[in-house]
Amino acid sequence: MDSMPFYMIFFQSIPETIILVTLGLNLTGFRSSWRQILVVAVLVSLSSYFIRAMPLPPGINVFLQLPLMIILIVLICRIPLVYAMVVSFLGFICISLTETIFNSIIFFITGISVQEAMVNPLWRIIYPVPEFIFLIIVILIINHYDIVLYDFSQLPEIGSEKNE
């Protein structure tokens, strides 16, 4: 069980989910309103709080949260399922890689491990801030230079009658 204090929904989970969804959307050429992204982030984050309270082994929560996020992106952002899966996995990969790198850097600089930060409420809030700032800057650069890995937004909907 990976318990998460309720306040972490606002300080970590919602910002992280906003970043994850925005990165995935932008890198695939999709644009959604901030309102849609915020609704997805709040719903995924609230579900994360309850999923983490369940007696599950650490890390299993991701296997429950990702499908939920995909469904919410389909319903709220109105993106076809296959593309929503790409958006979610791409955002998740970016967040995971960046988190791994920044956790190592922060540990090297401060000597504070992730495990130590998890038990101290203030450290738990501050620990991901450099990663979030970096990813927000990356998002701003992606938006400014209109960087897209593959523009799925220009493709027809997969499985639609138009393709047949």
Tell me how many helices (H) and strands (E) the chain has: 8, 0
**Residue pLDDT, tens place only, 44-72:** 999 999 998 899 888 888 999 999 999 99
pTM over 0.85: yes
Closest CA to 36 of 6, 87, 74: 74
10/159 Cα distance (integer angstroms) = 37
The dihedral sign for the CA sequence 49, 51, 56, 62: negative
Cα–Cα distance for residue pair 163/157, rounded to 1 Å? 8
The region, left, alpha or beta by phi > 0 then psi within -120 to 50, assigned to residue 146 is: left
Name the residue among 25, 8, 10 with its Cα closest to residue 139.
25
Joined together, the tokens standing for residue 153 give 């937004």
pLDDT tens-digit readout, 130-155: 999 999 999 999 999 999 999 998 88
Q: How confident is the model at residue 158 (pLDDT cuts 50, 70, 90)?
A: low
Q: Is the pLDDT of residue 163 over 50?
A: no
